[in-house]
Amino acid sequence: MIEKTSVLAQPGRRAALPIMVLLALGFVAPLLAVVGFSFMPARTFGLWHEPTLENYETIFSDNTYVSLFWSLGLASATVVLLALICYPVAYGLVRVFGRWSTVLTLLFTIPLVVSENIRLYGWVLFFIKGGVLPGTLRTLFGVEMGDFLFTPAAVLFGMVYVYLPFMLFPMTLGIAMVPNQMREAARDLGATRWQVFREVELPLSTPGLMIGSLLTFVLAVGAIAEAKVLGGQRIIPITHDIEIAFTYAQNWPLGAALAVLLMLVVSVLVLIVLRRFDLDQILGKR
Amino acid sequence: MSENNNSIRHILIGVWTAAVLLFVFIPSATIFLASMTSSRYFTFPISSFGFDWWSKVFNSLEVRALALTSLSIAATVTVIAVVLGFFGALAFARYDWKGRKLYQKFILLPIFFPQSVLGLALLLWFNALGLTLSWKTAVLAHLVWIAPVVTLVMAIQVYSFDPSLEEAATDLGASRWQTFREVTLPVLMPGIFSGSLFAFLLSWGNFPLSLYTTGADNTLPKYLYAKMVAGYTPGVPVLGTISTAAAAVLLFGGYAAMLFLTRKRNAAS
C-alpha cells in the first residue's frame, strides 16, 4: 500500500515539471532580476555593481510614491464598485437565467479577448466632443455635454469597465457553491430574504467574492492603458512611472525599485488571500 | 405574496444584467459606427456613410504583415500552452502528490500579477540574458501568463474525470500509452478544446505583454495603440470591429462545436 502511494506520487511531479520549468525561467527569474536591479546604482545596466539603496531613497524623497497611492486608491474603488455591480448579475447567471446563462456568459467573455486599448478607445469615441453621446444629446435635445474624458473619474470608469469579467466570473463560481437546499432550509425555518442573504448566501459564496476582488485589485493596480487612453495622463499611476523609468528615462534601477514596491503590495495580498482557500473545493465542486 | 416578490426581484435582476451587458458592448458598438464613415474624422451623427476604410484595411499590406505576426505568436503560444497546460492540469487535479497544494497556488501567481509589470520584468530579463527581442520572445512572455490560465481551464475538466476509468483500462491489459490515447485524452477533450480556444484568443488580444517584448516585430494590438496615440484614421475602428467580431465568432462557434461533439458522443454511448 505504502509502495503504491509512492509510485502514484511520481506521475504528478513529472506532469508538473514542464510548466514549473517555464515559470521558473519566465516568472521567478525575471522577478529576481528586477529585485537585483533595484539595488544597483541609478542609470546602470548591469547586475554586477556595488549594491545600494539610493533608488529607494529617491522614491521616498521625490514624491514618486504618490503615484503608488493613486494606483492603490483607484484599484480599491474599482473593487468596491465591481462587487456591487457584479453581484446581481452573478446571482442571476447562477439562479435566475437558467439555460440562457451559457449564452450570457459567452457574451460577457467576448470583451475579455479583445485588446483592452481597442475597447477603451471605443469609450473615447463615445464621449469625445462630436462623439456618440454628445452628438446624440445635441441633435435630439440641443444639450451640450460637459467634459467627462480626461478626468480621474474617466480613469475609474475605464477600470471598472475593463476588469468587470475578472470580478464577475469568480463571483459566479462562488455563488454556484451555495447549495440550494441550504437556502431553502433557511427559508423554511422562517428566515427573511435579507437574513438568507446575510447568513447563508454571502458567507458561503465568500471564496468566489474574495478571489474576484483579489484578481480585480491586483490587475487594476497594474493598470496603465486606462490612465493613458481615458485619463489623458491627468493621473499618473505607478505603472506609468515604472514604464517611464524603463523606457524614456533609461533608469532601470529606479524602475526596478518602483516595481519591487508594487510587487510587495501585490504579493502580500495574494499570499494572505490564497492561503485561506482550498482550490480543490472551489474548482472541483466534487 | 412571496412568489410575486420573487418574480419582481427576478425582473430587476434581468433588467440590471441587460444594463451591464449594454455597458459592456457600448464601446464595440461605437467602434463599429466609427468604422462606417467615409470621412477622415469621426463625428456623430455620421454625415457620410461608407465602407471605404474597410476596403483600405483589407488591401493594406502593413495590416496583413501585422496580422501574420499576431497569428504566428498566437498559434505557437496555443500549441505550447496546451501541452504544458494538459500535464499541468493533471498534476493540478488528477494526481495526488506531495507539494500539490503548494503547486496549485504557485500556478496562480502569474495570473494574479499585473501584466504591465510582468512585461517590463521580462524586458529586463531578456536584456540581461542578451536575447534580441522579436516575436519569439513575445511567445515566451505570453506563455508565462497563458499556460497557467490554460492549466486552470483544463483542471476544471480534469476534476470531473473518474480515475477508475484509467485503472479499468490498465486492468483490461491496455499499455500506458494506449490508456492515455484511448481513455485519458478523449475524456479530457472538451477541456483541451476550451483551453486552446482561450490560449489563442488571449494571446491574439494581448497588449501589455507584447508592448515590451516584441522588439521590432509589431502585433495588431500594439499597432492599434500607436495609431490611437498619434495618427488616428478610421482604419483603427475597422480593425477593432474585425477583432471583436472574430472573437465573438470563435467563441460562439467553439461553444456550438463543443455542444455538437458532446451530443454526438452521448448519442453514441
pLDDT (tens digit per residue) in B86-118: 999 999 988 888 888 899 999 999 999 999 899
> B24 touching A, CB under 8 A?
yes
Give the model's confidence band at B263: pLDDT under 50 very low, under 70 low, under 90 confident, else very high: confident
Does residue A109 fall inside a structural domain? yes
Residues of A in contact with B176 (CB under 8 A): none
CB contact residues (below 8 A), chain B span 32-51, against chain A: 33-34, 42-45
Q: Which domain holds residue A122?
A: 66-284
> A268 touching B, CB under 8 A?
no
Does residue A76 fall inside a structural domain? yes
- Determine the distance in angstroms separating the CA of B269 from the nearest CA of chain A, rounded to an integer: 24
> A10 touching B, CB under 8 A?
yes
Residue A203's pLDDT is what? Answer: 86
d(CA A159, CA A171): 18
Compute the average pLDDT of residues A166-193: 87
pLDDT at B157 over 80: yes
Query: What CA–CA distances, in Å, run from B189 to A14, B107, B129, B155, B165?
Result: 21, 22, 38, 12, 15
> B23 touching A, CB under 8 A?
yes
> A145 touching B, CB under 8 A?
no
pLDDT at A57 over 70: yes
pLDDT at B158 over 80: yes
CB contact residues (below 8 A), chain B span 200-219, against chain A: 201-202, 204-208, 212
User: Which residue from B120, B121, B251 is facing A106, i.e. has the nearest CB?
Assistant: B251
User: Where is pLDDT greater, at B51 or A29?
Assistant: A29
Closest C-alpha to A124, from A152, A154, A144, A145: A154
Counting the structural domains of chain A, the total is 1
Instruction: Select from 3.40.50.1460, 3.20.20.70, 3.30.450.20, 1.10.3720.10 the CATH code of B52-268.
Output: 1.10.3720.10
For residue B259, what is the nearest residue in chain A, using CA coordinates? A102
Kindly tell me the burial class for residue B236, based on how many C-beta atoms sit within 10 Å of its own C-beta (0-12, 13-18, 19 or more). Answer: buried
Closest C-alpha to A161, from B11, B93, B20, B76: B20
Kindly tell me the burial class for residue B164, based on how many C-beta atoms sit within 10 Å of its own C-beta (0-12, 13-18, 19 or more). Answer: exposed
Residue B3's pLDDT is what? Answer: 58
Do residues A66 and A258 lie in contact, with contact meaning Cβ atoms separated by under 8 Å?
Answer: no
CB contact residues (below 8 A), chain B span 228-267, against chain A: 228-229, 236-237, 239-240, 243-244, 247-248, 251-252, 255
| Mutation target vs B (from A17, A71, A74, A110; most B CBs, 10 A cutoff) | A110
Does residue A6 fall inside a structural domain? no
> B176 touching A, CB under 8 A?
no
Residue A156's pLDDT is what? Answer: 94
Query: What CA–CA distances, in Å, run from B54 to A90, A114, B49, B138, B239?
Result: 37, 19, 12, 29, 8
Residue A144's pLDDT is what? Answer: 78
Does residue A17 fall inside a structural domain? no
Does residue A35 fall inside a structural domain? no
Q: Do A22 and B248 touch (CB under 8 A)?
A: no
> B149 touching A, CB under 8 A?
no
* Secondary structure letter of residue A146 according to DSSP: P
- Determine the distance in angstroms separating the CA of A284 from the nearest CA of chain B, rounded to an integer: 5
Domain limits of chain B? 52-268
Does residue A219 fall inside a structural domain? yes
Does residue A269 fall inside a structural domain? yes
Q: Do B91 and A97 touch (CB under 8 A)?
A: no
How confident is the model over A114-170, as pLDDT tens digits? 888 888 989 988 888 888 888 888 888 887 777 888 888 999 999 999 999 999 999
d(CA A277, CA A238): 30
Residue A7's pLDDT is what? Answer: 47
How confident is the model over B52-63, as pLDDT tens digits? 778 888 888 888
pLDDT at A217 over 90: yes
Does residue A75 fall inside a structural domain? yes
Residue A102 is part of a domain; what is its CATH number? Answer: 1.10.3720.10
Residues of B in contact with A13 (CB under 8 A): 91, 97, 99
For residue B241, what is the nearest residue in chain A, using CA coordinates? A118
Give residue for cell 496549485.
B104
pLDDT at B266 over 80: no
pLDDT at A36 over 50: yes
Closest C-alpha to A222, from B13, B209, B40, B256: B209
pLDDT at B1 over 60: no
> B179 touching A, CB under 8 A?
no
Q: Do A218 and B114 touch (CB under 8 A)?
A: yes
Do residues A51 and A40 lie in contact, with contact meaning Cβ atoms separated by under 8 Å?
Answer: yes
